[in-house]
Amino acid sequence: MTKSLVLLAGAAIALAGSAAEARSYSNQIACSGYRDGQCVAWNRLTRKQAGEVKVGTVFGPNYSYYSDYSTLPQPLVTQYSLAPSARYVSTDGYVYVVDPQSYAVTRVITVPAH
């Protein structure tokens, strides 16, 4: 009986840990539904999902969280030769370079932790 109770407690802790991870959100919002080529639904991504954004992911023209070029860290701008003509999404640990024509991610830059 005690062994079963310990196993149940362990399972509950494991589930609580994964639930907490799933609720750890980034500051990144992504389109979750399109109608006639326009985004009609947005969802905040978990930190895990934000880390999985890759080249080819489309943010779309109406994405309201594009970062201004002037707000990007200057060392990153210099190191990666970032241009003011591109669009950028800056989030928890990543800068996504977005093509201004297709709105697709062309480059994912990992920002070093301070």
Amino acid at 74: Q
pLDDT by residue (tens digit) across 31-47?
A: 777 777 677 777 777 77
Q: Tokens 């800068």 — which residue? A: 95
Please give the order of strands across the beta sheet that includes 105-110: 87-91, 94-98, 105-110
The proportion of the chain whose per-residue pLDDT surpasses 70, expressed as a percent, equals 68
Residue 81: other Cβ atoms inside 10 A: 6
Whether 10 contacts 45, CB under 8 Å: no
pLDDT by residue (tens digit) across 82-95?
A: 999 999 988 767 89
* CA–CA distance, 29 with 62 (Å, rounded to integer): 12
Domains and CATH numbers, the chain: 24-110 (3.10.450)
Residue 59 has a pLDDT of 83
pTM over 0.75: no
Residue 85 or 62, more confident: 85
